[in-house]
A and B are shown apart, each in its own frame.
Chain A
Amino acid sequence: MNKILFFSISLLLLLPSCIEIIDDLTIHNDGSGTFKYTINLSASKIKVNSILALDSLDGKKVPSMAEIKAKANSFAANLKSQPGISNVTMSINDVDLIIKLSFDFNSVLNFKNGLKAAIISIGNSKQVDELNQNWLSWDGKVLKRDIPLLSLTISEQLKETDLDLLKTGSYTSICRFDRAIDKVERANTKINPNKTAAMLKVNTYDLQKNNSLLDNCIYLIPLKN
């Protein structure tokens, strides 16, 4: 079962040539918020469907769409049961190959712990150490985020031929706040006109080559008392 999950993640995230990923994190002043994650493979339908039609790839069993859906639903169900997590929705559009996950959290700590527990519940327990990494921190004034080590582990297993396939993909990271952003560390971050949202878009190939491209530190203007 673990292999199915691991392969599914690898397949969905890394094999297709044209992949679009959006992570959209909203953090309110009190630390609660909403996380939305979208994977769009619609531009690679032929390739993904042809892979899904295979029995195995690189010596690993290729899961069916039904198995992937079942695993995703199991993940969502587990996430729903985590403390501080609510309004979990998971949708898989198997025609256009778009996967969407969305949920609310009451604190950043519960967000991270809930996500970690849900991954462990369906994933590879050997990677618990990587999940213990503090990839997101929020102190009410500064949001600091790194790329999770787990995704690095998966990307390190990619072959050079797979890497070429990532060249046309994109990863967009959006952070939204209740109040204005003061400054950001990553220079190419776009900030919206009213300064409440920051968007960083990178190429998936560049991201694999340089994992720190999405690392960012966003400073907000202090709260008025």
Chain B
Amino acid sequence: MKKFVLFLFTLSFLNLYSQSELLIPRDAVTVFSINNVSLLQKISMDELVQYDFMEEVHQELFDGSTAEKTLKDSGIDFNQRLNVFYGKSDNSELSGFTFGVSNTKNLFEVFDDFEELQSKYSNVKIYGSFFNNLVIKNNTALLIRIEPSSELIDAQTDSIWYSRGNSYPYGYDPYDDDEFSGEIIFEEEVFDEEDSLISPESNDFPIANEDPTEKNYYELRDSVQLELQKGLLTNLLDELLIENANLVSSDAIFKDQLTHPCEGTFYLDNSRSLSQTNSLWYFQTVMPSLYKDIKELYTGNIILGDLFLKEQSIEFLVEARYGEKLGSIYQEMNDSKFDKNITKYIHKGNSAYFTYNVNMRKAYEKAYEVLMPILSSEKNSDIAMNVLAFELLNELVNKDALFETYRGSMFGTFNGIKKINTKKIEFYYDEETFEYGEKETEATEDMPVFTIGFSIGRGDIPEIILKNLGRVTSKFEKHDDYWVFKNAILDAAPLYMINKNDLFIFTNDEDLAINHSDGYGSNSLPKKIVKELKKEGFMNGYIDIAGTLNRFPSDLLNERRTEMINSLKGKSGKMYLESSKTTNKSTNFKMTYEFRGDENSGKHLLDLVNTIYIFSK
């Protein structure tokens, strides 16, 4: 499915304005739309098909039956906007994309697994494959996959299964008291060496019925799934094609977003995605009024993005909108004076850093003010006890000490790869006898060096903790300007803690701890950048791809992350993240990817998409 969605995402870089967006279902929660005349002018399709993700697309879609064809031959109208969407409801999950069609014959040479189905809609043809459906209306198309939730399928299947007089389908029924009348004796579990805990043979499967004409449980479940799928698709198509109800007609914000003069737009309705979050089902079913209040809190929580491609950069402008109540918490949280001490500890040569500047005290006070009335109004004993605990803590805990110890602002840096001093055991040999013994010697190993620091107003509190830890174990050692926790990292390298200048810093950078515990002085971030950081919002970041990813020791990562890092290696570019001041309505973010070299911005963008693909596969 990931590949499928990524394919759609990829295709979305290949289109222009049109009416294809009128086929986006209104249940779509996330939409990525691209109107990219400029992109098509800059990127050749031949280049496009060289990417890893295109190789997969060829394997998946072309099935070998259209060997040596490219997307050029796919019949897709690149003069229409292309929209990738995803949505999830309590009962179903849908994903797909809408696009223009320029040549139906060519399109079906690509989508060669689709067969035409009966259509009750005028001027609309419907096709189906094993997983997907393709709907073509005039010169626009909707490729969609809609899946009923497994909970819904199970509920329906169980209902039919038991109503037919069948017993529990998985062997022993724990709820059937009649099945075992005697004492249950648990035998010792014996595993054979060849057995695997994940071996499918060791799972319980429903026993097939002896009558081959009667469906067993899983056959019945497949039938139920298929029927539910058909029903969901019919409802969705009725909405789209008879009622003309789609996301554009039902959401003015999305409609407005599509008018933006940019290469691509992004839309995510968090308020709807919240209501479709499985983790909230408990609130939804057990505490419906609290759930309603939480939903209300999230009303208007929408993330909108515009993508601009420039000659030497890609800009992604994101606006995070909130409802008034939630916005008021964010506004208080982000209303924080920038801690200028932070910048002293960011070396001007650092290839990556971020700053995060928030006021936890104000955020807490506001959240208490907004959330406590909601929780207090809930008539539920568990919630009431939690409210009591919150209120008592609020009264009894020294909030001044707590929020001066953890103010909320922090920073992080990547200081490159450094040689870390470690100890190793070396074997030495007696030249007379070749007997050997062990001796401890100094060794060095490469390690990525990171620093993470927090603003603190009560440096005495961590000092109390460290002092006592130092009494418990000799691994904690106090030095003049720092503490060291020996072998803290991977049992091999020390972790340094600097508690100075209203900052508490963790680092494995020995140089920073020993030689720069008061900061890097004239080698810290230039004044110009510090000024910008002070002026901007709560979150800022910077990555020099060449200086960070090219130097990152990929053997410390798992295979997938290594592949991702490797796919970005060799590139030279810089990424900046900046945020605006937060109001009670929204926060704006701007991510800029600046690059050098002759390659155009679309090429760089696709490089990044390729990286995401490798990461997601």
Q: What residues of chain A lie closer than 8 Å to B558, measured between beta carbons?
A: 54-57
A69 within 8 A of partner (CB)? no
Do B559 and A40 touch (CB < 8 A)?
Answer: no
Residues from chain B with a CB closer than 8 A to the CB of A194 are 432
Bitwise interface map of B from 376 to 397 toward A, beta carbon under 8 Å scored 1, else 0: 0000000000000000000000
| Residue among B196, B427, B489, B491 making CB contact with A95, cutoff 8 Å | B491
Query: Beyond A47-B445, A50-B490, is A59–B424 a contact (Cβ under 8 Å)?
Result: no
Min CB distance A99 to B, Å, is: 12
Q: Is the CB of B490 within 8 A of A49?
A: yes
User: Contact between A98 and B425 (Cβ–Cβ < 8 Å)?
Assistant: yes
Which positions 185-206 of chain A face chain B at CB distance < 8 Å?
Answer: 190, 192-194, 197, 199
Alpha-carbon distance between A194 and B433 when the two chains are bound, in angstroms: 8
Does B447 reach chain A (CB closer than 8 Å)? yes
For the complex, give the distance between the alpha carbons of A43 and B422 in Å: 8
B193 touches A (CB below 8 Å) = yes
Contact residues, A92-151 vs B (CB, 8 A): 95-96, 98
Q: Mark B179-221, 1 if CB is under 8 A from A, else 0.
A: 0000000000000010010000000000000000000000000
Among A1, A46, A98, the residue within 8 A (CB) of B490 is A46
B175: interface (CB < 8 Å): no
B486-503 CB mask vs A (1 if < 8 Å, else 0) is: 000111110000000000
Distance of A139 Cα from B555 Cα, bound (Å): 46
State A38–B432 Cα separation when bound (angstroms). Answer: 20
Assess A45 versus B434: contact at CB under 8 Å? Given A55-B558, A57-B558: no
What separation, in Å, do the CA atoms of A151 and B196 have in the docked complex? 25
**Can you list 19 A-B pairs with a CB-CB distance of less than 8 A?**
A1-B193, A18-B424, A20-B427, A42-B425, A45-B491, A46-B420, A46-B489, A47-B445, A47-B555, A54-B558, A55-B558, A96-B423, A96-B425, A174-B434, A190-B434, A192-B432, A192-B433, A192-B434, A193-B432
Closest to A1 in B: B193
Interface check A80, CB cutoff 8 A: no
A16 CB → nearest B CB, Å: 10
Complex-state Cα separation, A121 to B11, whole angstroms: 53
Q: How far is the CA of A42 from the CA of B427 in the complex (A)?
A: 11
Q: Is B443 an interface residue (CB 8 A)?
A: yes
Chain A 45-75 against B: per-residue CB contact (8 Å), 1 yes, 0 no? 1110110011111110000000000000000
Q: Which of A40, A172, A190 contacts B425 (CB 8 A)?
A: A40
**Bound complex: CA A172 to CA B489 (Å):** 31
Q: Which 4 A-B pairs have the closest CB atoms?
A: A49-B490, A45-B492, A43-B424, A42-B425
Residues from chain A with a CB closer than 8 A to the CB of B432 are 192-194
A42 x B424 contact (CB < 8 A): yes
The residue on A at minimum CB distance from B422 is: A45
Interchain CA distance A57-B417 in the complex, whole Å: 22
Complex contact A40–B490 (CB within 8 A): no
Known pairs A20-B426, A96-B425, A199-B434; list 8 more (Cβ under 8 Å): A1-B196, A22-B427, A43-B445, A47-B555, A56-B558, A172-B427, A172-B429, A197-B433
Contact A49–B431 (Cβ < 8 Å) = no
> A45-B491, A54-B558, A58-B559 in contact; A197/B434 too (CB < 8 A)?
yes
- The answer to whether A45 touches B559, judged by C-beta atoms less than 8 angstroms apart, is no
Known: A22-B436, A197-B433, A197-B434. A46 touches B425 (CB 8 A): no
Taking CB atoms, residues of chain A closer than 8 Å to B436 are 22, 24
Q: Which of B422, B423, B433, B556 contacts A50 (CB 8 A)?
A: B556
Q: How far is the CA of A113 from the CA of B432 in the complex (A)?
A: 32
Contacts of A2 in B (CB 8 A): 193
Known: A47-B445, A56-B558, A95-B491. A38 touches B427 (CB 8 A): yes
Could you list which residues of chain B lie within 8 angstroms of chain A, going by C-beta atoms? 193, 196, 420, 422-427, 429, 431-434, 436, 438, 443, 445-447, 489-493, 555-556, 558-559
Contact of A53 with B424 in the complex, beta carbons under 8 Å: no
| Residue from the set B193, B420, B425, B436 with the largest chain A CB neighbour count within 10 Å | B425
* CB of A142, distance to nearest CB on chain B (Å): 20
Chain A residues in 8 Å Cβ range of B446: 46
Closest to A58 in B: B559
Could you tell me the distance in whole angstroms from the C-beta of B206 to the nearest C-beta in chain A? 29
Closest to B443 in A: A43
> How many angstroms from the CA of A95 to the CA of B425 in the assembled complex?
11
The residue that B559 contacts in the complex, of A42, A43, A57, A176, with Cβ under 8 A, is A57
Question: Please, how many angstroms separate the alpha-carbon atoms of A38 and B426 in the complex?
Answer: 12
Q: Which residues of chain B come closer than 8 Å to A176, judged between CB atoms?
A: 434
B559 touches A46 (CB 8 A): no
Closest to B196 in A: A1
A44 part of interface (Cβ distance < 8 Å): yes
Complex Cα spacing A98 to B256, Å: 65
Residue from the set A46, A55, A176, A193 with the largest chain B CB neighbour count within 10 Å:
A46
Q: Which residue of B lies closest to A194 (CB)?
A: B432
CA distance A215 to B425 in the complex (A): 27
Q: In the complex, which residues of chain A have a beta carbon less than 8 angstroms from the beta carbon of B431?
A: 192-193
A47 to B196, CA, bound (A): 29
Q: How far is the CB of B449 from chain A (nearest CB, A)?
A: 12
Q: Which residues of B contact A95 (CB under 8 A)?
A: 491
Q: In the complex, what residues of A have CB within 8 A of residue B443's CB?
A: 42-43
Q: Is the CB of A49 within 8 A of B491?
A: yes
- Please name all residues of chain B whose beta carbon is closer than 8 Å to the beta carbon of A18 when the two chains form the complex: 424
Q: In the complex the two chains form, what is the Cα distance from A59 to B431 in whole Å?
A: 45
Q: Report the separation of the CA atoms of residues A56 and B561 in the bound assembly, to the nearest whole angstrom.
A: 12
CA distance A51 to B424 in the complex (A): 18
Contacts of B433 in A (CB 8 A): 192, 197
- Residue contact A45 to B490, C-beta cutoff 8 Å: yes
